[in-house]
């Protein structure tokens, strides 16, 4: 519920953002590639026996998007972009905390997402760089792959959930058609549910923080 609330608040924030951006150039499609460091929040897993908590090693985020830069063609909306993005996140398990102690863990958590993002840009602030803010909503396949605790199998299963993300960063134009984005994103989903190695249902929570760099080519 907290994640859903965050999505709603973020969407409202974006509407505010887009509505206040200033004018620039012509509307054009673009292609972007993104990558960076992905830090997964500690994951609380809950089953009938209680809660246990898994932490993750730093991992990576990679993705690409096909979008449309509104330019100054929509003054009634403002400046911004709309894009369809495919993203992939990967983090290996570090350890898992039980009430009886913390044990080394293995396996990985990966998330494949398809998102629709809307991004508002503040181009009036500086000619050489400007901030952007955005939100996205979509779906994600969350996979816990061959995870184990102290050598004992834990979860090897996937779950599909509604996903959302919040974006912020600065854009550095590198030329007329090329721009670099340096940013941060928070990516979350509604709580995924997995089946563990004993056929028990396990509910988890998911949150990711990514520091990223992207290249965007406008056609």
Partner 1 sequence: MRRLLAFCLLFILILSGCGSDSTATKEFDLAPLSQIIVTSENPFIANKTSNQFAAEGNFSNLFTQDISAEVVWTSSDPGVATIDANGLATAVAPGTTQITATQDGVFDFFFLTVTDATLSRIDIAPVAPAVARGLTQQFTAQGTFSDASEQSLTGSVTWSSVNTNIAAIDQTGLATALLEGTTNITAAFDGVTRTTQLTVVAAALTAIEITQTLSEVPQQVNVKHIATGTFSDGTSSDITAQANWSSSDESIATVAASGIAVGSAAGSVTITAAMNALSSSVTLNVTEAFLVQINITPATPTVAADNTLQLTAIGVFNNNATADITTADITAHALWTTSDGSIATLSNITGSEGLATGSNAGTTTVNATSGTITGSTVLTVN
Residues that bind partner 1 (CB under 8 A): 2, 6, 9-10, 13, 16-17, 20, 41-44, 47, 49-53, 97-101, 103, 122, 125, 131, 133, 149-150, 152-154, 166, 168, 186, 188, 197, 205, 207
Shortest gap between Cβ of 157 and partner 1 (angstroms)?
15
Nearest to partner 1 of 42, 72 (CB atom): 42
Which bin fits 49, alpha (ψ -120 to 50), beta or left (φ > 0)?
Answer: alpha
Nearest to partner 1 of 17, 179 (CB atom): 17
**Using an 8 Å Cβ cutoff, are 24 and 149 in contact?**
no
Give the separation between CA 170 and CA 34, rounded to whole angstroms. 14
**Using an 8 Å Cβ cutoff, are 56 and 93 in contact?**
yes
Query: 167, 189, 184, 163: which is closest to 36 by C-alpha?
Result: 184
Shortest gap between Cβ of 24 and partner 1 (angstroms)?
17
Nearest to partner 1 of 87, 188 (CB atom): 188
Nearest to partner 1 of 30, 119 (CB atom): 119
Shortest gap between Cβ of 164 and partner 1 (angstroms)?
10
Shortest gap between Cβ of 96 and partner 1 (angstroms)?
8
Shortest gap between Cβ of 23 and partner 1 (angstroms)?
16
- The contacts found for 5-10 with CB under 8 angstroms, 24 or more apart, are 6/164, 6/166, 6/188, 7/135, 7/137, 7/164, 10/135, 10/164, 10/166
Nearest to partner 1 of 30, 204 (CB atom): 204
Ordered alpha helix ranges (H), the chain: 2-19
């Amino acid at each position: 519920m907290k994640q859903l609330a965050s999505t709603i608040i973020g969407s409202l924030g974006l509407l505010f953002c887009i509505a206040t951006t200033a004018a620039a150039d012509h509307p054009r499609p673009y292609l972007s590639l993104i990558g960076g460091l992905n830090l997964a929040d500690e994951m609380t897993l809950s089953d009938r026996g209680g809660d246990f908590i898994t932490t993750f090693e730093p991992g990576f985020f990679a993705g690409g998007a096909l979008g449309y830069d509104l330019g100054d063609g929509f003054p009634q909306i403002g400046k911004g972009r709309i894009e369809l993005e495919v993203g992939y996140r990967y983090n290996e398990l570090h350890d898992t905390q039980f009430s009886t102690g913390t044990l080394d863990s293995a396996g990985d958590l990966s998330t494949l997402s398809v998102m629709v993002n809307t991004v508002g840009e503040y181009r009036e602030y500086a000619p050489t760089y400007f901030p952007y803010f955005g939100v996205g909503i979509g779906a994600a396949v969350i996979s816990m792959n061959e995870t184990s605790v102290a050598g004992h199998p834990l979860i090897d299963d996937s779950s599909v959930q509604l996903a959302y993300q919040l974006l912020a960063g600065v854009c550095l134009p590198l030329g007329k058609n090329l721009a670099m984005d340096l940013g941060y994103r928070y990516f979350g989903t509604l709580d995924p549910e997995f089946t563990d190695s004993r056929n028990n249902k396990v509910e988890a929570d998911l949150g990711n923080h990514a520091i990223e760099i992207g290249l965007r080519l406008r056609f």
